[in-house]
Structure 1
């Protein structure tokens, strides 16, 4: 129940709501005006230009049904006009309420007199990117497809200042460089498919805190849904939102504005680096036939590397991004740079990243899409091309340009020693990365070096991926780098295999193998993407069952003996003992065993 407010308080609330409404509408109006002008200037079609100048540019609104997207839908329909809007909803099927959310989104669009489209997607819960990452990728693919189908060039997203602050903090604690710290751009151009029209992503509410959106929603009488998973602090972003942000806001009330300024500074600095990289690219670029992305001259890159290792590293990352690939991890990038510096001019240079192969022939460096060889699957091809470039582990989401100066200092000290240490690091995991946990029932184990979280999910005896909780309490859990030579057995009746072979069999490309190896004591227990080691999990399960059965049996025997003795007959004692033993064994086995399923979830930076 809400108590009645005094007239003065009600008047203040009304004034605040009007002010919030004005800010929301102004933000959307500004974004729409910018997009209309950009659409006109970018269009080569005279008819399209006329339509845009007449205010006919259509806008899509990504509508989940939550607070942010509900406010965005209402404000955009008011500013742009309902007839020029289309609301897009993606049904993931991950929540039992997903159907109700779809109905709510459809009704919200109908109430706003806005066109509506929805797409159902299937999200693999065991995806290598984690369930959050897989859901995010599936959502954006579906949104882009719906934009293309509706011939809509602009899509509005409801991210606000609180989302931006969370993203910045997550990137900062992960050690991100400028590109990561820039967080979410207010405007981004996305080429969803080759030869398909680009979709411009716009976040009109990015400068507004969530509190403003709440006031706007109340003033407009909007209804929205709350995703129950947003309260699950096992997810890193939720833990930050519920456990870190509140005390930070109390101590630094204007922290959102401060972090937003830092993000803009990082974005400006990265843009400047990109400008320098584009200029350097002109001197390194080799002209190729057709519209292929640029190829680089290895000899020219080496000359730049001698003059300025920082600029050489910068242009190399810029070139990788020009192919639409994510940045490499620091260790992988260091290894690539070392190979480029030492590669013989008369020998091929091949390594893979993000499904592409780096080729070196007659001084020309190019990235080619990996293709299937006859009689050999993609994972085997990937492994052949990486025989001399073992997988390295680290962050794949950020360029880490800031580390280039440290690498330059290392090179100037003792080249022979540095090259030796690099080769050793490439062959083996980092011994310093040995995280330990005395597990006492924690639901999650955050592992920042691998940018993910190990989740302990309760399950039952029917789960083939179960492990008894009692064994996890008996020995220390360790998370370490893969150093080579580790073996495990992933299925009943299957032989023990090396992790390298198992990754190949599972078809996991090299850039999906940057995961921790979870040890129980000194034995491999679990590897993300491969699952449990049966040699450890099955043995421990039997041991645990026998212990629980023995405990239940002893308890049942004692109870039965006592009951039989009290009855005063030898038959009663014997019958009680047998019945108690059987009942106790069954109860002990079923009730006393706590089963868990281990799941690896990568950190999701953008919800």
Structure 2
């Protein structure tokens, strides 16, 4: 084994290696198989993802199978797992991003299927330098500039890049010394992809002007990565100061809201970082920099004017000095509120009932008091809010318009659209308000309550 290219020592019985069939992953897979040959407790599993994006995809899979079979016959403890994935080629996110997401999901699933929790990837120092430069060109923040982590736990799996500090030339030397056969990806020269443009058009000139660019850029990424734990700790402190429970939403999936009235008085840098951290926590994805800057600048003035606003594109609302989030808002906006249908669910039982056209689920649960009688579940209908609906908040109180009830109870605007739950033509339940007092069951009879569980827009 070439000096400096040994994988990190591991104690797991299964060593999973992401294996495309290319030069780098071939070298890593071979090095792991050789290292495990004399360790009876270890076995190496090569994980190959078939994207179907290239005309050569079938040939690459065949090469991967042939290579693993030959090595196994030579006494190396290696086997192959293959997963075929479908990549969405419609307009929107880049093919690179979609293929990467599909690949990582498939790799995660295969690692767990193989009975392991360790995955090795063959990225090297040049890959890290390129990633840092691409992130900088995209205007990335600290998390992006930290580039690829060398060792991290994600989804119950340890993702390790053991060669991240090694130059590509060392891998090339290993491949040559062991006469390893590998495939060439024909898309590597396609400059429509950003990384390929960098490699083909920029990198040679950069190295000519700055011969140590690869080492320097990778080192910068490593230094930024060192700051991530401190940043995470700072973010937790910011959120402890600004995040409060969502009193206007009593559903089990209620997200914490940002106390914008307090947050608005912070220095602009702290406002931006707190906004990034809050959105990442509740939405499960990053908030685009353009939105971070826009909200951090706009919201303080709106707080002073006691204004309310909705930013449906990102699922965020400002109401009564608080920023709240709903994963359903971007979905409803894309569908168009005017197209939201009346949905007849028919007889319902206890459990979660999917309503695809409303991008969520209606949960029916048994309660001791304050619910609707079981007979009301025979003809359940979901309706959008159209105006003029009357709702009685509690016994002895007069019915009032939904608009006034929403205002008096401080229900955030994103909850006001519905769906409203009816028993035939009688309003029974409203998100954010609960069961209409006129529909409440008598004491001692079987009764049920509702929860509306919106889809996650990121998952959808």
Q: Which TM-score bucket, shorter chain as reference?
A: 0.5 to 0.7
Give 1:67's match in structure 2, choosing from 23, 30, 47. Answer: 23
Q: How far does the alpha carbon of each residue in 1:125-156 deviate from its partner, in whole angstroms, 9 at most, with x for none? A: 33421322222222122222222333322211
Question: 1:381 deviation in Å?
Answer: 4.5
1:152 aligns with 2:108: no
1:228 and 1:311 map into 2 onto residues whose CA distance is 46
Counterpart position of 1:333: 292
1:24 aligns with 2:8: no
- 1:207-218 to structure 2, matched below 5 A, reads 207-218=165-176
Counterpart position of 1:58: 14
RMSD: 3.2
Q: State the secondary structure of the residue aligned to 2:336.
A: helix
1:120 aligns with 2:55: no
Give 1:231's match in structure 2, choosing from 186, 189, 203. Answer: 189
- 1:248-263 to structure 2, matched below 5 A, reads 248-263=206-221
Q: How far does the alpha carbon of each residue in 1:242-284 deviate from its partner, in whole angstroms, 9 at most, with x for none? A: 2322232234332211111111222234443332221121122
Q: Call closer, same or farther: CA 1:332–1:381 in 2, change over 3 Å.
A: farther
Q: State the secondary structure of the residue aligned to 2:20.
A: coil
Q: Call closer, same or farther: CA 1:372–1:211 in 2, change over 3 Å.
A: closer
Contact 2:188–2:196 (8 Å) recurs in 1: yes
Q: Call closer, same or farther: CA 1:224–1:324 in 2, change over 3 Å.
A: farther
- 1:183-198 to structure 2, matched below 5 A, reads 183-191=147-155, 198=156
Question: 1:336 deviation in Å?
Answer: 1.9
Per the normalisation by structure 2, the TM-score is 0.64
Worse-matched range after superposition: 231-240 or 78-87: 78-87
Counterpart position of 2:381: none
Counterpart position of 1:295: 257
How many residues align? The count is 330
Contact 1:59–1:155 (8 Å) recurs in 2: yes
Contact 2:124–2:166 (8 Å) recurs in 1: yes
1:318 aligns with 2:247: no
1:128 and 1:210 map into 2 onto residues whose CA distance is 33
Counterpart position of 2:58: 99
List gaps (5 residues or longer) in structure 2: 341-456
Contact 1:56–1:84 (8 Å) recurs in 2: no
1:347 and 1:335 map into 2 onto residues whose CA distance is 16
Counterpart position of 1:477: none
List gaps (5 residues or longer) in structure 1: 1-17, 34-54, 192-197, 385-509, 512-607
1:245 aligns with 2:203: yes
Q: How far does the alpha carbon of each residue in 1:194-220 deviate from its partner, in whole angstroms, 9 at most, with x for none? A: xxxx22221111111111101111222
2:283 and 2:35 map into 1 onto residues whose CA distance is 34
Higher relative helix content? 1
Contact 1:350–1:359 (8 Å) recurs in 2: yes
Q: Call closer, same or farther: CA 1:352–1:220 in 2, change over 3 Å.
A: farther
Contact 2:52–2:86 (8 Å) recurs in 1: yes
2:53 and 2:44 map into 1 onto residues whose CA distance is 27
Question: 1:292 deviation in Å?
Answer: 6.4
Counterpart position of 2:452: none
Question: 1:171 deviation in Å?
Answer: 2.0
1:79 aligns with 2:43: no
1:383 and 1:327 map into 2 onto residues whose CA distance is 29
Contact 1:127–1:134 (8 Å) recurs in 2: no
Q: How far does the alpha carbon of each residue in 1:341-383 deviate from its partner, in whole angstroms, 9 at most, with x for none? A: 13459765432456xx22445554332321799xx77432499
Q: State the secondary structure of the residue aligned to 1:24.
A: coil
Q: Call closer, same or farther: CA 1:57–1:369 in 2, change over 3 Å.
A: farther
1:134 and 1:320 map into 2 onto residues whose CA distance is 22
1:317 and 1:170 map into 2 onto residues whose CA distance is 21
Contact 2:143–2:225 (8 Å) recurs in 1: yes
Higher relative strand content? 2
Per the normalisation by structure 1, the TM-score is 0.49
Question: 1:293 deviation in Å?
Answer: 5.8
1:69 and 1:232 map into 2 onto residues whose CA distance is 21
Give 1:275's match in structure 2, choosing from 233, 241, 245. Answer: 233
